[in-house]
Amino acid sequence: MILVSAAGSLRGVPNMANDAATKAYVLALGRGLHREFARHGVTVSVLLPGMTDTPTLDKLGFQPGTSPLKPMTVEQCVAEGLAALAANRATHIAGRLNRVSDRVIPARVTSMMMGRMFRQWAERRPAQEAESIGKTR
Amino acid sequence: MSGKPVRLDSARFGPWALVTGASSGIGRGFAEQIAASKINLVLAARRLSTLDELGRELADRHGIQVRTVGVDLTGPGFMNAVIEATRNLDIGLVVSNAGDMVLGEFLASPYDILIRETRLNVDAHLRLIHHFGQDLARRGRGGLLLVSSTAAMQGVPYSANYAATKAYVLTLGQALHHEFSGRGINVTVLLPGATATPMLSRFGADRTAMGRLAMPVGTCVADALKALRANRAVRISGRMNRLTIAMTPRSARTRLFGALSKSMAAQLPHSQATSADGQVTTTDVKI
């Protein structure tokens, strides 16, 4: 079983508060079930993608060229998720850069940087879209 | 109550405060200490008679006004009841505390019980914060205290959904701490560890090592109110809990908390997963 959460769920994300919180729910649920399901022979892995090249990213207001970060391809993200499942990992952050920054950058700093970024994005997109965003990343 | 209540500035966090889940445990502790700061109270919980009794006691002792609302925060339209009870009141502090814990193996837990837990531990917080956050932002001052749990810091087998709902509250509060800081609103998430509450007793944990280590409610609440006053984003109650969490790797905590949940679940009278409150009653709801 692969549960898709988001790298942003590792900390609070201002201007994406509820979204990050729901992803934290998924992450914690998966971590608990990883152990509970093990005795049934079922592997549970939680995949935490960072910025990934999906239609949602455009909807959120991402503009290529304005960001120093390059989105990960869907293929690589999916491949990492499947590899994590095969290796029976409870959680996996997609992308080496995302994994490194999770380790070395304090949560408070990441939280503030992401919050600022999402505010800029939100200002870019039309108001009606801002209200109907259903997904993140 | 153990120790002295923490004083809050009633000009900043008053004149009224709302406390959910105020009939017992940590919620009741919040009501008692906030009352000592001469802040009027709206108390919400399912058991109206218990609330009324507590309300009269606090009103007499501290010379404050108290309103009570008997409401099941998992029920449809609960928000209407809360809005009705707080109409025309200048609320400066919201303690979103009500919560419940379902213990037991995930696959053995009926969906109805898990979704009820999720409504209370996720949706009720979301609705309350969304509604009262607007009011607080208009005032430009006040506080929001969200009660999560140390279970939020890692996954917990045998209370997987509970830990997940508490992770939701923690992450939401962390983000709102930043978002609301420019609006003069303090946001603090409280992560209590084992605390001497009726919930702990209902699980039989008061007779175990966990019960002996449990923190008094008054100390836990005082810790939270101090953190709110200082506008800390997150506060784990108790030095021992803070130390344990800081020193233990997350995967080890998952095993440890999982073992505790499993042993508590095994002591329940029926082997099936049960919530602390047992049966749901909605007869108190006034809309």
Helices of type H across B216-277: 217-229, 239-247, 250-267
Mean pLDDT over each residue of chain B, to the nearest integer: 91
Which pLDDT value is given to residue B208? Answer: 73
Write the pLDDT tens digit of every residue in A72-109: 999 999 999 999 999 999 999 999 999 998 888 888 88
CB-neighbour burial class of residue A17 (10 A; exposed 0-12, middle 13-18, buried 19+): buried
CB-CB under 8 Å, A14 with B152: no
Is B48 an interface residue toward A (CB < 8 Å)?
no
What positions of B carry a catalytic annotation? 162
Is the pLDDT at B4 greater than 80? The verdict is: yes
Q: Which region among A13-27, A59-73, B89-103, B107-121 has the lowest average model confidence (pLDDT)?
A: A59-73
**Can you say whether the dihedral through the CA atoms of B204, B116, B50, B146 is positive or negative?**
positive
Higher pLDDT, B111 or B4: B111
Task: Average the pLDDT over B171-185 and give the result.
Answer: 96
CB-CB under 8 Å, B179 with A14: yes
Q: What is the pTM of this model?
A: 0.91
- Report yes or no for ipTM above 0.90: no
> Which 15-34 residues of chain A touch chain B by CB within 8 A?
15-18, 20-34
CB-CB under 8 Å, A36 with B160: yes
Write the pLDDT tens digit of every residue in B211-254: 777 899 999 999 999 999 999 999 999 999 999 999 999 999 99
